[in-house]
């Protein structure tokens, strides 16, 4: 309900920033995932399959955690707490 009392221009600006921040967070996550996959691929090509798999799984889980953290931070900024 707090956004109703906000001027329309400010409300639109805040919404645009929110959406831009969310899109940027997903772009950063995709870049990090490319890096994780590249590292795992290198280890697999060096015949280190276990290390490559561990790198892939842990890197992907860490990346997902960072993405969720980024999305939560954006939501926290959006809410009037």
- Residues 6 or more apart whose CB falls under 8 angstroms from that of 40 comprise 52, 53, 55, 56, 59
- pTM of the predicted model, to two decimals? 0.80
Decide if 47 contacts 67 (C-beta within 8 A).
no
Across the range 2-17, mean pLDDT stands at: 80
Condensed to tens digits (0 to 9), the pLDDT of residues 14-71 reads 889 999 999 999 999 999 999 999 999 999 999 999 999 999 999 999 999 999 999 9
Sign of CA dihedral 45, 48, 53, 58: negative
């Amino acid at each position: 309900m707090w956004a109703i009392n906000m001027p329309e221009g400010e409300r639109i600006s805040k919404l645009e920033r929110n959406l831009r921040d969310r899109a940027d967070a997903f772009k950063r996550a995709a870049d990090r995932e490319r890096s994780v996959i590249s590292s795992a691929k290198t280890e697999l090509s060096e015949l280190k399959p276990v290390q490559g798999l561990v790198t892939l799984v842990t890197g992907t889980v860490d990346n997902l955690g960072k993405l969720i953290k980024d999305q939560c931070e954006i939501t926290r900024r959006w809410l009037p707490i």
